[in-house]
A = this chain, B = another copy of it.
Amino acid sequence: MDHKPLYARIRDRLVGRLVSGSWTPGMLIPSEMELARQLGVSQGTVRKALDLMTAENLLIRRQGRGTFVAVPDEGRKQFQFFRLVPDSGEHLLPESRVTRRDTAAADAAEAAALAISRAAPVCRVERLRLLAGKPLLVETLSVPKARLDGFEALETIPNNIYGLYAARWGITIAGATEKLKAIAASKTDAALLGCATGEPLLCIERVAVDLENTPVEWRVSRCLTGEAHYLAELR
């Protein structure tokens, strides 16, 4: 059972330092040699663990400088989980305007997506996001109150919410699964987006997970794709 390779167990121990908060975003971590001494393995094994974590976007290595803990929204990483880009190709972050908030027991869809019980309370936010002043999408997100206690009392919801999860609750969003469909705009969405009812919208349903692969957030976005598109790279 515990016959994972040594480098994988080293990785797990180092991820533990991230989860426990003893390594914080942006921080310089000890050198390979130092870690090898601390952990009682060779430098090569530490390197393999660090390379794994680098591939997972958890660390950033810089020759001559050292190895750093990745900060969620650094440079392009801001867009790691935002694949909707203007047709013109520029990558801009949209502004946000919160249109609704509440806290209540999870509905069936939320309970399934977040792997929690129907009775568990969730906090919800609906917000409109605009690019260069024009409505781009409206999204509804739900998080388990148990996991992000105090979310419902936040005065403002920052634009970059994954940075908030990290700063306030020490939760790093490590990945997400998205399901895309084309739908017709509902009356309320159309009003928010300033388009016609029935207009085709790109619907993105996302479950975001933390380092331990536990669902943290469920989000459904309805996007106008007249001047933007969702970009996917397949390799």
Give residues in A with beta carbon < 8 Å to B. 56-57, 80-81, 83, 174-184, 198-203, 205, 223, 225, 229-235
Contacts and interface: CB of A to CB of B under 8 A. Distances in A.
Contacts of A182: 182-183, 200-203, 223, 225
Contact of A180 (B56, B176, B180): B180
Given A200-B200, A201-B200, A202-B202, A80 B234 contact: yes
Contacts of A231: 177-180
B235 A174 contact: yes
Contacts of A180: 180, 202, 225, 229-232
Nearest to A198: B198
Contacts of A232: 83, 177-180, 232
A177 B231 CA distance: 7
A57 B181 contact: no
Given A175-B235, A234-B176, A225 B181 contact: yes
A231 B80 CA distance: 16
Specify the main secondary structure of chain A where it touches its partner: strand
Q: How many copies of this chain does one complex carry?
A: 2
A50 to B, nearest CB: 16
6 contacts: A80-B234, A83-B234, A181-B225, A182-B203, A205-B229, A232-B232
Nearest to A179: B229
Given A56-B235, A80-B234, A233-B175, A184 B200 contact: yes
A63 to B, nearest CB: 12
A178 B234 contact: yes
Contacts of A183: 182, 200, 225
A54 to B, nearest CB: 12
B80 A230 contact: no
A180 B178 CA distance: 13
Contacts of A202: 180-182, 202
Given A201-B200, A202-B202, A81 B181 contact: no
Contacts of A81: 234
A232 B176 CA distance: 8
Nearest to A175: B235
